[in-house]
Structure 1
Amino acid sequence: MNPEKPLPVDTGRGFSVNYRQRWLYSRHDPTSLALLNCQAAPIHEDTLYLVCSPCLCYGLTALAQRLPAGSAIVTIETDEQLMRLSLETSQDWRDSYPTIHFLRSVDPTAIINHVDSLSSFKRIIPVSISAGRQLDEETYDRIEKDLALHLATRTRNRIASVRMGRLWLKNIFANLGGLDWSRVSDPPRDSRPVLVAGAGPSLQASLPFIRENRAGLHVMACDTAIGCLVQAGIMPDSLVCLEGQIHNIHDFLPLNRRPVHAFVDLSAHPASFHTLGGPCTVLLSRWTENSLIGRLTDGGLPIWPVPALGSVGVLAIHLAGRFLAGDIYITGLDFAFPPGLTHCPGSPVSYFEKARESRLDRQRYSWRNNWRQDTFCAGRGLRSTPVLEMYAASARELLTDLQTGERPRRLFDLRASRGLDLGLNLGQDVPAPSHEALKCPVQDSGVTPEAGGAGLEAAALARFLVAQEADRIDQLRRILQGEAPAAALPGLLLELDYLYSHFPDAERVGGLHLDALRRLALEARYWLGRLDWAGRSTT
């Protein structure tokens, strides 16, 4: 039997389906397993229940009846015939269950966009109700993986925004006012292969390769990896800084203000810009979609928007693939560590450990991290954490895109099996840069004599943008204090959503709850003071 269309078959205990020489349900009791899986699914708020290939939709209505507010069921079907079967099966009850959504697509991006339009889900729970998934298992696996990574990243960014959003905003306004805009330049242009160096333990083992091929490599260092490289006599060509707190200033001390092109996020601590002595490319991470980030990226300032990747190592991979055209070598981006050694020698962590150690107490920080409650065995004698594992998944996704994109890039792993899998064939033989790369001229976009005028224009524009934000916030303050009519309040709340996006209950501001508006009034007074300082700094 090989029907071209799905063939429902009455088994006496319900209908099964035969399609493409495969039974999609049991031939003896078709409904039991689907109903059992729907009944066993754990119930949580703000959860996406993903059903791949729903076929006859057994159990979906029972699951929908158990869902709390904020949760929904999304069914995905990649086969047109099976999609038609699902829609015909559900046509009598589909309108009565608005939390069940049927999608026919093979594009993970389209599915993610549709899911985002439904609600802000925090997690995904797959539920299997048929064997239809096995007909296109690779596609369904990719969709589920991409959805899970997207929701995890969005949830992580939301948590980070609540914890760090106020600090990042403070840094953005301080940098708008205090940055020497004459130092700001475009990303460097370099036709050599690029080596992305993180501060993981594998960097130490890669130093001989880097020294031997230094002339043929553009070395892009994550901030914490600078000390290890400089100690080995390797001056990086560029560095990447993302940290919003002041702790990472120690990373730049080995440079001794020697000029190195820096990729620095506008939300980084202001001391990062002041400590570095060379040209810089200003980035702006979209850690949340608020109106301020949109105005800054569209406002004419020399700022390069980048996705919110969370990890400076993952951001370095993004920058290497986006701005530099050569092959990419990866080292130090381990996202795991051997017991007692979380960072490479020469990093600030290594120096602090040595400064505190005694005859009976050594490597306390590294060993303590090794046995933290959230660490787990990652294989090959390595330890990792869920956060590091999530960053590794983001890096793996970026590297896969670089390998299979419109302009495929050659990628090489120098970590020698010392990190989590990034899809780069751990332990492979790594070729040295080609002779052509050794002859390639370096074309760095450093600060030119003409950059002074552009810097003055950028400083004036930054001053204008700061003044505009101050006017908006002052108007909001006057409305909240009863000094101005409230007709403009809804529009101002949309324009100034960044003032309360870090509230754990930010939705109460949109609901005009009095307690939230009182907190917002305090925020408005605080930020007026910060913007007044930033405006005076740009004059």
Structure 2
Amino acid sequence: MTDYSEEMPCLVKTGQGFSLSYKNRFLYSKYSPDRAISGAIDSLTILPGTLILALSPALWLGLEKLLQKLPQDSFILGIETDEKLHNIASEKLEQLKKNCDNSQKSNFSSSNSTFGRVFLLPFKENDYIVNILSGEKLLDEISLPHISTFRRAIPLEMSAGTQFDKENYASLSRLAQNTIASYWKNRITLTKLGRLYSRNIFKNLANLPSAIDFNNLLRQIKRPIFVFGAGESLEATIKNISSEEIKKCFVIGVDAACPALKASKIRIDAVIALEGQVAIEKAYIGASAEDSIIFADITSRKQVTGHTKKSFTYFATKYTDATFFKELGQKDFFPRQIPALGSVGLTAVYIALLLRENINIPVFVSGLDFSFSLGRTHTKNTPAHIARLCSTNRFRPVENYDAAFRAGAKQFAGKNAISLYTDTALEGYAKSFDDVFSGTPNLYDAGIQGLPLGIERISQEKLKAFLESLEVTNSEKLGSKEEKDTAQEKKLKKAEEIRRFLEKEEKALNRIKELLMFGKDVASCSRSLEEELNELISPREYLFLHFPDGYKCDTKSISFLKRIRSQIDFFLKDIKNGLKAES
């Protein structure tokens, strides 16, 4: 019997090649080491644009067969979570590359370009797989192409080494798959709304000098905070707990929930506004936010901040990693950035946690159901509910049954075993809520129905008893006259910085327009036309971020340049209006 160590991986000779033994087990068959991985590769369907996640590659058995099956635009990323096995995998991969270069008889291509699509994730970088795939973290050892190259990631167990760390391999595989899936979901969103977001940024810049600095509001709330979404559990909460008790809390409402809270005579201290489209104006009918401070995203509809008589502030959702947004984020006048959470409800909770004075102050959440009951989608008195009431007739009932039976909708038993419906998007928001806020101290789910949020639940009875025990305290003076009218010198400085930024962008866009119209006749002597266009367009992704192929700046394409030309006038108009407002 072959002698081998249980502590160190050892090669074991078999009748059909070498196997590997480690921790008292064989990582490949003792009889035909490559049989299992060969069968797994045969069963794979590898479409173009695939990233193969080679889990525990060890001796890289089956790599030859996998490369022969791999489409030209697909790549292989080896992942090894055991340091000893990682060292073996690294040495073996280098050896295979050398053999490929030196041996003309190899079944691999004699060119190293074939192995140029095979990489091994450095052992110490396993936890950064998301950053590496997204391009946020660059490594000398790995030169994976831009994430837009990939449409999917497929995990492939290359050896039994995965059995030593099943959960970690599964987690890394999910992270890689979710990173690629999220990228394409974001691309779809940007294709639909990217130009609107970018134009809203330019429109809102003129308002920034008049806004309260978001950073000055952090850690200011000393009372319990209540965050309300527009889901049906909001209705149950405001029915069981009186408005007088709720007023003891600092109340934050998402924009769509404002009419419902106003109808129940609940004072709304802060409104969270994310939406950039005109449809959200319905949420402000009836002056539902006139006595609230409005927290508006820099990409939200400009007119939203005009619905308050109190004050407003801006924050910036990081909706893109584009160069222009990064450069804006470094400007002193640009508002505080927060992660892109996808949902106004999640953003409201995130901001609530920033506003509370310390982690001992409780934050209660209701109306963030991410689900709906048969015939309904939102709580009463929300814009969706009112619109349904207004449009109902004998052919169109007030109950919205379509939502429960649309593609992707499914039934489930939610909190308290209440039968509800959800869909893929809403379910994704609930999962995101769990991922972001699970384990947050003193964050409580006060909703009686909906998808689980991954935070501690509190019953209506216990919540009511807690609020009754509180004393009425004076409201914080967020957005007071003193805070709103900051030092005139500081306000003027910010306005001047914004004016200079807008003038710079106006000059650059006019130059791009000139080059596209007259070409080489007006090109610079020191640079070619293509070089100057690329230099001007590539850091201004707002011009093309919403293109279907907007993940790249292709100034060599006539089609791309024609589309760029069609966008310039829209942004020039917004910039000129912003400069007029500043003057």
Q: TM-score, normalization: structure 1?
A: 0.89
Contact 1:509 1:517 in 2 (8 A): no
Instruction: Look up the equivalent residue of 2:353 and give its one-letter code.
Output: G
Q: Which residue in 2 is equivalent to 1:273?
A: 305
Residue of structure 2 in register with 1:139 after alignment:
168
Measured after TM superposition, the shift of residue 166 of structure 1 is 1.1
Deviations 1:102-130 (A, max 9, x none): 12447665222222332213432222233
The answer to whether the 8 A contact 2:52-2:153 is kept is yes
Indicate how the Cα distance of structure 1 residues 114 and 180 shifts in structure 2: closer, same or farther if over 3 A, else same. Answer: closer
Aligned to 2:478: 445
Match of 2:424 among 386, 401, 408: 386
| Cα 1:360/1:514, change in 2 over 3 Å | closer
Question: What CA deviation, in whole Å up to 9, does each residue of 1:49-106 have, x standing for no partner?
Answer: 2233222323334333333344322222121111122223333224651222112447
Corresponding residue of 1:112: 130
Aligned residues: 530
1:485 maps to which residue?
A: 523
Q: Which residue of 1 aligns with 2:105?
A: none
Per the alignment, residue 518 of structure 1 pairs with: 562
* SS of alignment partner, residue 412 of structure 1: strand
Query: 1:377 is matched by which residue type in structure 2?
Result: Q
Q: Aligned equivalents of 1:196 and 1:238: distance in 2? A: 9
Within the alignment, does 1:65 sit opposite 2:65 as a pair? no
Provide the secondary structure at the position in 2 that maps to 1:339. coil
Does structure 2 conserve the Cα–Cα contact (< 8 Å) formed by 1:291 and 1:498? no
Letter in 2 for 1:238: A
2-side partners of 1:438 and 1:46: how far apart?
A: 61
Alpha-carbon spacing, 1:278–1:57, altered in 2? closer, same or farther (3 Å): farther
Distance, in Å, in 2 between the alignment partners of 1:11 and 1:204 is 70
Q: Helix, strand or coil for the counterpart of 2:57?
A: coil
CA drift of 1:349 comes to: 0.7
Distance 1:493 1:447 in 2: 42
The correspondence of residues 493-512 of structure 1 with structure 2, limited to 5 A, is: 493-506=537-550, 509-512=553-556
Q: How far apart, in 2, do the equivalents of 1:9 and 1:427 lie?
A: 58
1:22 Cα offset (Å): 4.1
Partner Cα distance (2:433, 2:280) in 1 = 22
Stretch moving more, 240-249 or 266-275: 266-275
1:446 to partner: Cα distance: 1.2
Q: Distance in 2 between matches of 1:206 and 1:346?
A: 14
Note closer, same or farther for the CA distance 1:443–1:5 as it changes in structure 2 (3 Å cut).
farther
In structure 1, what is the Cα distance between the partners aligned to 2:30 and 2:535?
60
Displacement, 1:391? 2.1
Q: Does 1:193 align with 2:193?
A: no
1:396 aligns with 2:434: yes
1:483-523: CA deviation from partner (whole Å, max 9, x where unpaired): 53152333212332321222223467434222222222232
Structure 2 contact 290–307 (Cα < 8 Å) conserved:
no
Kept in 2: contact 1:185–1:445 (CA 8 A): no
Any idea what SS the aligned residue of 1:140 has? helix
Q: Does 1:315 align with 2:347?
A: yes
Check 1:410–1:12 CA distance in 2 against 1; reply closer, same or farther (3 A cut).
farther
Larger mean CA deviation between 384-393 and 451-460 belongs to 451-460
2:404 to 365, 370, 375: 370
Residue 305 of structure 2 is aligned to residue 305 of structure 1: no
Looking at structure 1, the residues matched to 116 and 442 of structure 2 have their Cα atoms a distance apart, in angstroms, of 47
Candidates 34, 54, 57, aligned match of 1:54: 57
Distance in 2 of aligned mates of 1:217 and 1:21: 60
Q: Separation in 1 of the partners of 2:410 and 2:230?
A: 20
More deviation, 79-88/31-40: 31-40
- Provide the C-alpha distance between the structure 2 equivalents of 1:475 and 1:430, rounded to a whole number of angstroms: 65
Q: Deviations over 1:428-475 (max 9, x none)?
A: 798545899757765443143342624444333333322221011112
Alignment partner, residue 104 of structure 2: none
Q: How far off its partner does 1:265 sit?
A: 0.9
CA distance in 2, matches of 1:332, 1:19: 53
SS of the counterpart of 2:481? coil
2:401 is paired with a residue whose SS is helix
Partners in 1 of 2:470 and 2:10 — Cα distance? 60
Q: Is the 8 A contact 2:221 2:250 kept in 1?
A: yes
**3-state DSSP class of the match of 1:330?**
strand
SS of the residue 2:364 aligns to: strand
Q: Distance in 1 between matches of 2:289 and 2:362?
A: 29
**Secondary structure of residue in 2 paired with 1:112:** helix
- 1:531 is displaced (CA, Å) by 1.8
2:119 aligns with 101
Counterpart contact for 2:268–2:289, Cα < 8 Å: no
Structure 2 letter corresponding to 1:125: I
Matched residues in 1 for 2:170 and 2:241: separation? 37
Structure 1 contact 50–76 (Cα < 8 Å) conserved: yes
SS of the equivalent of 1:329 reads strand
**Distance (whole Å) between structure 1 residues aligned to residue 477 and residue 126 of structure 2:** 37
SS in 2 for 1:91: helix
Aligned partners of 1:425, 1:45: CA distance in 2, in Å? Answer: 44
User: Are residues 217 and 54 of structure 1, via their aligned partners in 2, closer, same or farther at CA, if it must alter by over 3 Å?
Assistant: farther
CA shift in 2, pair 1:123/1:280, >3 Å:
farther
Change (3 A) 1:108 1:440: farther
1:124 equivalenced with 2:160 (yes/no)? no
**Pairwise CA RMSD:** 2.9
Pick from 3, 8, 14: which aligns with 1:5? Answer: 8
| Correspondence for 1:221 among 253, 277, 291 | 253
Bigger relative CO (Cα 8 Å, ≥ 6 apart)? 1
Contact preservation (8 Å) 1:480, 1:517: yes
Secondary structure at the residue paired with 1:126?
strand
Please report how far the alpha carbon of residue 39 of structure 1 lies from its aligned counterpart in structure 2 after TM superposition.
2.8
What is the CA deviation profile of residues 390-419 of structure 1, one whole-angstrom value per residue up to 9, with x for unaligned ones?
Answer: 22222221113xx2xxxx523222223x22
CA contact (8 A) 1:25 1:131 kept: yes
Deviations 1:376-402 (A, max 9, x none): 3344433222222222222221113xx
Contact 1:75 1:102 in 2 (8 A): yes
- 2:109 is matched with none
SS at match of 1:451: coil
Q: Which amino acid aligns with 1:340?
A: G
Q: 2:240 matched to 1:204?
A: no
**TM-score (normalizing by structure 2):** 0.82
Change (3 A) 1:457 1:211: same
* CA distance in structure 2 between the aligned counterparts of 1:145 and 1:321, rounded to whole angstroms: 28
- For residues 44 and 134 of structure 2, the distance between their equivalents in structure 1, rounded to whole angstroms, comes to 22
> Residues 214, 493 of structure 1: CA spacing in aligned structure 2 closer, same or farther, 3 A cutoff?
same
Deviation at 1:210, TM superposition (A): 7.2
Structure 2: tracts of 5 or more residues without a match: 98-111, 136-143
Note if contact 2:243-2:266 (Cα within 8 Å) is conserved in structure 1.
Answer: yes
**Percent identity of equivalent pairs:** 26
